[in-house]
Each structure stands twice: as structure tokens, then as C-alpha cells.
């Protein structure tokens, strides 16, 4: 039995500039972190000669099939085919948080399954190849409108400044800050679940269709990554991160009508009115998690104002996709 643990991620700055449609001409960059919330894959050899099916996959439902083409879960089917696995396998999926909530869960699923299938076949795969394979599968085989950052955070883990160039090149830089600054930064964030889920691909397609109109906004979002990097890497005046997040969110929500809605706008404004210096809706938009930067003295007031929403605690700098058990 193989158990793979793959982190979800929080993207702080630069989302949208990680699409080759943008960065192949302009460069791109993001700042964010893998967090201590995970997707788990359990992969086992399945003795199909004892059963009436050859593949078993358990997620929200249980799929038991004889032929791989009978699988209803398209990403699972495509990833198995890519790795030439057609029988004698059982995969079980579990997650710490709901899917389609802006934390990169789809890419964490892809990365974790690729990692596990390579181990199942007795192969090693390094972090860069893991990320590149996941990007290829999601963009080329699944034809999803996704950028590059989610697969990289899931593969590499860490708190990173990632730069994109060319048509598919990327460089991952671990942001070198001491534990005190890391803890101070993490303690200044408060995250709430909106209760709404959505698939990112439609919203991202809407943004990409408006790329020419949005280019100036994306250029400014790109610059905000570098501004934030200077603040975080020096550890000086961390409250500036809140103000930079607010500007970035105002730009992001204007990229497409699908990014925000009345409920999200109202909840965000409540946060700002009760001590948050800035924040954002994580992921493509439309639902998921709201993240606020809130100085610690103001956090009790914000929590009181948003007590009807579910707060989720997290830590930055989680390890990338890892085999946490391999054996009987």
C-alpha cells in the first residue's frame, strides 16, 4: 500500500500571470505557499482475478470497472492511461477540505495521483518533472483552463516566489525568511469558507477571452508580486502586505464578472470595516475561501463581525507531495 499526501495552496499575489497566454510575452510571477491542508491518495494492488472488476476507485462514490474506458471520473481515467495502468489497482481519495474552493485541489489531486502511480510502478519522479507532468495532463489532455502555479505548489511545497517565462519555463525560489517573520505573517491572516464551490475553468476562460482588455491590470498585478516580495523578504512593515492584497483584489475582481458576487463583496467589506487591511477571494473566483490580512489586535473584532462564517486555521510552508507510507 502506498499513501501519498499532497498539500493545498494559498496564492497571495500574481494569480493570472501564471498563464502562458500572458507570461510568454510579459513574464509572470506569483507568491504563495503550500499549506497544512492535504489531499490523500491510497494506492494498492488489486487482485482483480478474485472479483468481477479490475479497477476500483473510491472518492464521493465508488467506481468498480472492468475496462478503464468505463471510468466516469475523467481526470482519474486520463492519468491512469497516461501511466499505462489498465488493471489491478485500487485508489482511495480523501481530503481535508472541500474541492473547488480556490485552494488548488484539482491540481493537488493530479500531482498526488501522478506521484503515487510512479511509486506504484517502482519509479522515482523529481519535483520539476512532477509539476511539468501535471501541467501537461491538465492543459493538454484534460484541456482545462489552468495556469502553472497550482501544480508547482503541490509538487514543491514551501513558501515560494515563482517566476514564469518563455512558453512553459518556471523558476521556484523559496522565500528566505526566519521563523519569527513567517509566524508573524501567518498569524496576521484569517481565512473563511464562503460555503460556495465552483469550477475554475469557466471563470478562467472568461478572463482569458478578455486578455487584451485586461493586460494593464495584469501588468500591475505582476508588479505587486515584486512589491510584496520586497516586504516579505525583508520582514519590514508586514502590514503593507494587507494594503497590497487589497489593491490586488480590486484588480482581480475587475478581470471578469464571474470573479465576485454580491455575497462575496459584502463579506469582504465587512472584513475591511472591522479591521482587515486587505484580502482576497482565493482561486479563480466565484466562491471558495476568503482570506483577510488582519493585524492581531483587530482580529477579535473581525471574528465577531463574521461569526456566521466558518473560519479555517492553517499554517504556511507545508511540504510538497510526499509518500508518507509504502509497505503492507
Q: Tell whether the model's pLDDT for residue 288 goes beyond 70.
A: yes
Mean pLDDT value across residues 198-207 = 68
3-state secondary structure of 133: helix
Give the pLDDT score at 37.
98
Please tell me the predicted confidence (pLDDT) of residue 200: 61
What is the average pLDDT across 164-177? 95
2-176+317-326: CATH topology is Ribosomal Protein S5; domain 2 (3.30.230)
Q: Is 8 in contact with 37 (CB distance < 8 Å)?
A: yes
- Dist. CA 303–CA 312, nearest whole Å: 12
Residue boundaries of the structural domains of the chain: 2-176+317-326, 179-311
- Which residue matches cell numbers 475582481? 253
The three-point CA angle 24-28-32 to 5° equals 145
Alpha-carbon gap, residue 29 to 161, rounded angstroms: 7
Average pLDDT of the residues in 97-101? 89
pLDDT of 50: 93
Task: Look at residue 101 in the predicted model and tell me its pLDDT.
Answer: 87
User: From CA 1, how far away is CA 90, in angstroms rounded?
Assistant: 10
Classified as helix, coil or strand, 211 is: helix
- Give this prediction's pTM: 0.95
Listed residue (45, 113, 22, 29) closest to 75, CA to CA: 113
pLDDT band at 201 (very low <50, low <70, confident <90, very high): low
Residue owning grid cell 484569517: 190
- pLDDT, tens digit, 9 for 90 and up, residues 225-264: 999 999 999 888 999 999 999 999 999 998 888 788 899 9
User: Spelled out in words, what is the top-level CATH class assigned to the domain 179-311?
Assistant: alpha beta
Is the pLDDT at 209 greater than 90? The verdict is no
Residue 307, class by beta-carbon neighbours within 10 Å (0-12 exposed, 13-18 middle, 19+ buried)? exposed
Q: Confirm whether 2-176+317-326 and 179-311 share one CATH topology.
A: no
Amino acid at each position: 500500500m502506498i499513501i501519498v499526501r499532497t498539500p493545498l495552496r494559498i496564492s497571495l499575489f500574481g494569480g493570472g500571470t501564471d498563464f502562458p497566454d500572458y507570461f510568454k510575452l510579459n513574464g509572470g510571477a506569483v507568491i504563495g505557499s503550500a499549506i497544512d491542508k492535504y489531499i490523500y491518495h491510497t494506492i494498492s494492488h488489486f487482485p482483480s482475478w478474485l472479483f468481477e472488476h479490475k479497477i476500483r476507485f473510491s472518492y464521493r462514490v465508488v467506481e468498480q470497472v472492468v475496462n478503464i474506458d468505463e471510468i466516469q471520473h475523467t481526470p482519474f481515467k486520463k492519468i491512469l492511461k497516461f501511466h499505462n495502468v489498465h488493471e489491478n489497482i485500487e485508489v482511495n481519495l480523501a481530503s481535508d477540505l472541500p474541492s473547488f474552493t480556490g485552494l488548488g485541489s484539482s491540481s493537488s489531486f493530479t500531482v498526488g495521483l501522478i506521484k503515487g502511480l510512479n511509486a506504484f510502478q517502482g519509479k522515482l519522479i523529481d519535483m520539476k518533472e512532477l509539476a511539468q507532468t501535471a501541467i501537461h495532463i491538465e492543459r493538454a489532455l484534460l484541456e482545462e483552463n489552468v495556469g502553472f502555479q497550482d501544480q508547482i505548489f503541490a509538487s514543491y511545497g514551501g513558501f515560494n516566489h515563482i517566476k514564469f517565462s518563455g512558453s512553459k519555463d518556471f523558476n521556484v525560489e523559496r522565500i528566505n525568511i526566519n521563523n519569527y517573520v513567517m509566524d508573524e505573517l501567518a498569524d496576521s491572516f484569517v481565512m473563511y469558507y464562503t460555503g460556495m464551490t465552483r469550477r475554475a475553468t469557466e471563470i478562467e476562460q472568461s478572463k482569458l477571452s478578455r486578455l487584451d482588455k485586461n493586460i494593464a491590470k495584469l501588468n500591475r498585478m505582476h508588479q505587486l508580486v515584486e512589491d510584496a516580495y520586497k516586504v516579505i523578504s525583508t520582514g519590514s512593515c508586514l502590514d503593507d502586505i494587507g494594503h497590497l492584497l487589497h489593491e490586488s483584489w480590486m484588480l482581480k475582481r475587475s478581470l471578469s464578472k464571474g470573479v465576485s458576487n454580491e455575497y462575496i463583496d459584502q463579506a469582504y467589506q465587512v472584513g475591511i470595516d472591522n479591521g482587515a487591511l486587505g484580502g482576497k477571494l482565493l482561486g479563480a473566483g466565484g466562491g471558495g475561501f476568503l482570506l483577510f490580512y488582519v493585524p492581531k489586535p483587530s482580529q477579535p473584532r473581525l471574528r465577531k463581525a463574521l461569526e456566521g462564517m466558518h473560519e479555517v486555521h492553517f499554517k504556511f510552508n507545508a511540504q510538497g507531495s510526499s509518500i508518507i507510507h509504502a509497505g503492507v
